[in-house]
Amino acid sequence: MAAFALGWLALWELAARAGWISRLFFPPPTTILLTLGRMLVTGNLAPALALTLYRLALGVAIGAGSGALLGWLMGSSRSVRLALDPIVTALHPLPKLAIFPIFLVLLGIGEASKVALVALTAFFPMVINTLAGVQQIDTTHWEAAANYGARGRALLQRIILPGSLPLVLVGLRLAVNGALMVTIAVEMLSAREGLGALIWLAWQTLRTEELYAVLLVIGVLGLASNSLLELTSQRLLPWKGET
């Protein structure tokens, strides 16, 4: 796989320098790397990355946290599930960017509206996966808990949390990936700072080498976040192995 990627990059480099493809739209990989280094040295990339990470982390913390709590509640209470499941089902398919103008009206053009949309994006995967995680717990576990008189906090700690954790972690991974995409999209639409804003500025000024450099950073960010979540899953769920 690594050899294939290196060969593809080498072919791209050769094609761009030989003039077989437009260097405006497909700058050589070495030019992209040099541009990335220049952006790091000049200082405009690091603050943008920090701001994007702030929006992403805060949005995921709010959205995924509240989504997990609601999912556990819906999974534990049939009446709550019957009341809220139609609402979740109806709102989940709505394009999140289509809701952004409503947040702008309600919360203004500052950070609150952007973080709210990121949180909403992270909310639904966590609700759905946490609910599914509780529902797939084997009935024998519920029966054993009832026989031992487990209620409330004991039931949550001994049955619900460990039993639903595999799908909760899957939901968290989906939440982070979706939230990252929406964070970049929101920054492109309405922010002056952030990785998305850098992409939009690079496109407006036709500095495509900077556009590719920022895309490379976003790709590395996505890879790092997924690797961290995978490592967390292996630590918390050692019995799952490679599956």
**Any idea which of 91-95, 140-144, 164-168, 212-216 has the lowest mean pLDDT?**
140-144
Count Cβ atoms below 10 Å from residue 35 Cβ, excluding itself.
22
Count Cβ atoms below 10 Å from residue 199 Cβ, excluding itself.
22
Which CATH number belongs to the domain containing residue 72 in this structure? 1.10.3720.10
Span 198-238, pLDDT tens digits: 999 999 888 999 999 999 999 999 999 999 988 888 888 76
- The answer to the question of residue 147 being in a domain is yes
Average pLDDT of the residues in 12-21: 84
- The answer to the question of residue 16 being in a domain is no
With cut-offs at 50, 70 and 90, classify the pLDDT of residue 23. Answer: confident
Q: What is the model's pLDDT at position 171?
A: 92
Greatest mean pLDDT range, 36-45, 71-80, 115-124, 126-135: 115-124
**Could you give the count of Cα atoms lying within 13 Å of 47 in the half-sphere of its Cβ?**
8
pLDDT higher than threshold 70 for residue 34: yes
Closest CA to 112 of 123, 104, 122, 101: 104
With cut-offs at 50, 70 and 90, classify the pLDDT of residue 20. Answer: confident
- The answer to the question of residue 178 being in a domain is yes
Q: What is the pTM of this model?
A: 0.88
Q: What sign for the dihedral angle of Cα 131, 136, 141, 142?
A: positive
**Mean pLDDT over all residues of the chain?**
86
The pLDDT > 70 percentage for the chain reads 88
- The answer to the question of residue 8 being in a domain is no
pLDDT higher than threshold 90 for residue 148: no
Closest CA to 115 of 175, 190, 55, 67: 55
**Any idea which of 3-7, 32-36, 103-107, 229-233 has the lowest mean pLDDT?**
3-7
Domain count, the chain: 1
Q: What is the model's pLDDT at position 156?
A: 66
- The answer to the question of residue 18 being in a domain is no
Q: What is the largest CA-CA distance in the chain?
A: 75
Average pLDDT of the residues in 3-27: 84
Average pLDDT of the residues in 34-39: 90
- The answer to the question of residue 58 being in a domain is yes
Average pLDDT of the residues in 4-22: 83
- The answer to the question of residue 212 being in a domain is yes
Domain of residue 61, residue span:
49-235
Q: What is the model's pLDDT at position 243?
A: 45
Average pLDDT of the residues in 39-54: 90
Distance in angstroms (rounded) separating the CA atoms of residues 174 and 230:
12
Span 149-187, pLDDT tens digits: 556 566 666 677 777 788 999 999 999 999 999 999 999
- The answer to the question of residue 72 being in a domain is yes
Average pLDDT of the residues in 48-74: 94
